[in-house]
């Protein structure tokens, strides 16, 4: 993770530029390459009982709006690229400098994210705003389940201060629940964990999962030269997601790392779960792996 290539999908619904800002910052910090990929899609419903000329008019208007949105998004990308001082390159170079490019494709947004995202080291996406972006939530879930890549989700309240802060000053909280998903998240985050100021492994002692203990996970990190503290918290009236976010705030975390959807997907959808709560409520960036 975070070694060379970063994929930032952009859609016309996505008016939040935080993922783009963070993607550029990651490219600069890790001397990598970011591809901003604008996905041009139609999701309009044409009534079956209208004539062909009216249907053509509706499609033409949709094409015009889509082209305008793509033009605006490209202008924003160019401005952010200039502000970041990163060079534009259509392809990642073999040198050690940061670069970025813009690509534009047509297709279903979820399908494009699944097909393209799997090729990159990391996918960066905006966290959907709670309650008002159901489709945005579907895009993030598509990235989590279908790319098999780590996903870095930036919150709506993301501040430029992240991009002005040295990664060596970050505190990182890792949510450990004894699952392969949490282990994947740690493995994917190793290039980052090797550089940050402090790392804490947090285990909420629900006993729901059987697997390696938090102490064993900490031992493996220490073998790799990463100093890590461990905190175990007894469950209380709060949900695990609420505890995670409260502990992240207390720790002064700049980033939360966790496995995603360790429960059955349908159970998470119907009953809610840790991942769903974090996607709804996190006010800091979250790195998730499934």
Q: What is the DSSP string of 117-168?
A: HTTSSEEEEEPPPTTT-HHHHHHHHHHHHHS-S-EEEE-TT--THHHHS-GG
pLDDT for the residue numbered 156:
77
pLDDT for the residue numbered 1:
46
- What SS3 class is residue 36? strand
CA distance 139 to 114: 9
Q: What is the mean pLDDT of the chain?
A: 85
Tell me: the pLDDT tens digits for 140-155?
888 888 898 999 999 8
Token digits of residue 240: 């695990």
pLDDT for the residue numbered 63:
78
Tell me: the pLDDT tens digits for 244-268?
999 999 999 999 999 988 665 555 5
pLDDT for the residue numbered 40:
86
CA distance 243 to 265: 21
185, 178 contact by CB (below 8 A): no
pLDDT for the residue numbered 136:
52
pLDDT for the residue numbered 271:
41
Q: Is the pLDDT of residue 286 over 80?
A: yes
CA distance 103 to 278: 30
Q: Is the pLDDT of residue 213 over 50?
A: yes
CA distance 78 to 81: 5
Highest mean pLDDT among 14-18, 56-60, 135-139, 244-248: 244-248
Percent of the chain with pLDDT over 90: 54
Domains observed in the chain: 5-154 (3.40.50.620), 165-289 (3.40.50.620)
pLDDT for the residue numbered 194:
94
Q: Is the pLDDT of residue 237 over 80?
A: yes
- Show contacts of 64-68: CB within 8 Å, 24+ apart: 65/12, 66/12, 66/40, 66/41, 66/42
Question: How is residue 45 annotated by DSSP?
Answer: P
Token digits of residue 114: 């699944």
CA nearest neighbour of 177 among 157, 203, 150? 203
Q: Is the pLDDT of residue 270 over 70?
A: no
């Amino acid at each position: 993770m975070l070694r060379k290539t970063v994929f930032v999908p952009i859609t016309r619904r996505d008016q939040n530029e935080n993922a783009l800002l963070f993607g550029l910052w990651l490219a600069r910090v890790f001397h990598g390459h970011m591809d901003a990929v604008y996905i041009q899609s139609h999701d309009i419903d044409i009534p079956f009982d209208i004539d062909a000329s009216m249907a053509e008019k509706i499609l033409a208007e949709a094409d015009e709006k889509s082209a305008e949105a793509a033009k605006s998004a490209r202008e924003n990308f160019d401005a952010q690229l200039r502000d970041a001082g990163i060079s534009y390159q259509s392809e990642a170079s073999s040198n050690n400098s940061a670069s970025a490019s813009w690509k534009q494709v047509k297709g279903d947004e979820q399908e494009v994210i699944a097909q393209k995202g799997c090729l990159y080291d990391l996918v960066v996406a905006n966290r959907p705003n709670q309650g008002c972006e159901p489709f945005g939530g579907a895009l993030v879930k598509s990235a989590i389940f279908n790319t098999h890549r780590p996903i870095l989700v930036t919150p709506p309240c993301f501040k430029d201060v992240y991009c002005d802060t040295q990664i060596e000053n970050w505190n990182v909280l890792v949510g450990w629940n004894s699952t392969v998903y949490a282990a994947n998240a740690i493995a994917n985050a190793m290039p980052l964990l090797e550089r940050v100021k402090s790392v804490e492994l947090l285990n909420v002692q629900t006993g729901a999962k059987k697997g390696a203990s938090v102490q064993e996970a900490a031992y493996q990190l220490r073998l790799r030269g990463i100093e890590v503290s461990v905190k175990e918290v007894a469950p209380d009236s709060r949900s695990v997601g609420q505890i995670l976010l409260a502990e992240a705030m207390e720790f002064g975390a700049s980033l939360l790392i966790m496995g995603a959807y360790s429960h059955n997907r349908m159970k998470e959808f119907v009953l809610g779960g840790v991942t769903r709560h974090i996607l709804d409520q996190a006010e800091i960036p979250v790195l998730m792996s499934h």
